[in-house]
Amino acid sequence: MASLTVENYLKAILQIQLKQDSERVSPGSLATRTGVSPGSVTSMLKTLSDSGLADYVPYEGVALTDTGRRLAMRILRRHRLIELFLIDTLKMTWDQVHDEAEKLEHAVSDMLIDRIDSYLGHPTTDPHGAPIPAADGELRGTSSPVSLDMCHAGEIVRFVQVVNQEPGFLRYLSESGFQLGAVGEIIETSEDGGVIKATIDGFDFSVGFDAGATIRVERVRSVYPTA
């Protein structure tokens, strides 16, 4: 049985892999995500490699083995289903559930998670719009959204995911009337001005340019029509 620390590292490697094109993850990016020193990360990567859960090559990075990826997907599935369960049954808000799920994901059994999945109707995304892995380890409901900061004025977009899990940011979005699934029009994008402005269901919405990079959207109408 993997330890809590091992599970957290495997999940962190997987989450970085899902956001980048390269299969290998650098120790530096892993240290940034986990908040530990590069030396500690390197030591753990060697342990994961010796355990057959990862393939670590100095100066090239780390990639999960099939066994490591299956375990990482299982932990990610637990986390995202627990978040949704806490919101659906206990009426917690989306800015409250991440830390609780971080603790519970290591304690629940696969049987309980399968029951939760069935109870919730086999959802494809978590409360923040991230895809939930199925029991077989495959990601369900995956699409190819773009970040809000890549959009242009005049485009119509559907807001589908928020990557930033910082509670204060999530509360700001809620207080601004932001909702996943809502459709809005981009009014202004100004990297120099550092702001993105949109209208969502009739109300004004604005967010910093950097924060916009953590919001994912699907284009409903592009300003560049296809031929």
The pLDDT tens digits for 174-210 are 998 899 999 999 999 887 778 999 999 888 999 999 9
Task: Fill in the DSSP letter of residue 25.
Answer: B
Query: Would you state the pLDDT for residue 2?
Result: 66
Taking residues 70-84, report their average pLDDT: 96
**CATH fold for the domain made of 4-64:** Arc Repressor Mutant, subunit A (1.10.10)
Burial label for 105, CB within 10 Å (0-12, 13-18, 19+), is buried
- Tokens 């380890």, located at residue: 137
Q: What is the CATH number of domain 79-142?
A: 1.10.10.10
- Computed from CA positions of residues 85, 213, 8, 17, in that sequence, does the dihedral angle turn out positive or negative? positive
Tell me: the pLDDT tens digits for 131-181?
999 998 888 665 678 999 999 999 999 999 999 999 999 999 999 889 999
Query: Would you state the pLDDT for residue 227?
Result: 44
d(CA 38, CA 30): 8
Report in angstroms the alpha-carbon separations of 225 from 157, 197, 198, 219: 14, 22, 20, 12
Query: Would you state the pLDDT for residue 190?
Result: 82
Banded pLDDT at 224 (limits 50, 70, 90)? low
Query: Would you state the pLDDT for residue 142?
Result: 57
Is there a shared CATH topology between the 4-64 domain and the 79-142 domain? yes
24 neighbors 62 (Cβ within 8 angstroms):
yes
d(CA 96, CA 94): 5
Residues 6+ apart with CB under 8 A from 125: 131, 132, 141, 161
Q: What is the CATH number of domain 146-221?
A: 2.30.30.90
Tell me: the pLDDT tens digits for 90-138?
999 999 999 999 999 999 999 999 999 999 999 999 999 999 999 988 8
Taking residues 41-66, report their average pLDDT: 95
Report in angstroms the alpha-carbon separations of 78 from 32, 43, 74, 153, 186: 23, 26, 6, 38, 35
- Of the candidates 15, 43, 14, 38, the residue with the CA atom closest to the CA atom of residue 28: 38
Tell me: the pLDDT tens digits for 20-35?
878 899 999 999 999 9
Query: Would you state the pLDDT for residue 1?
Result: 53
Helix axes 4-19, 38-50, angle to 10 degrees: 100
- Which run of H or of E encompasses 93? none
- What is the domain partition of the chain in residue ranges? 4-64, 79-142, 146-221
The DSSP-derived string for 169-213 is HHHHHHHTT--TT-EEEEEEEETTTTEEEEEETTEEEEEEHHHHT
The pTM is what? Answer: 0.89
Report residue 115 as tokens: 């029951």
CA count, 13 A, side-chain hemisphere, 104: 18
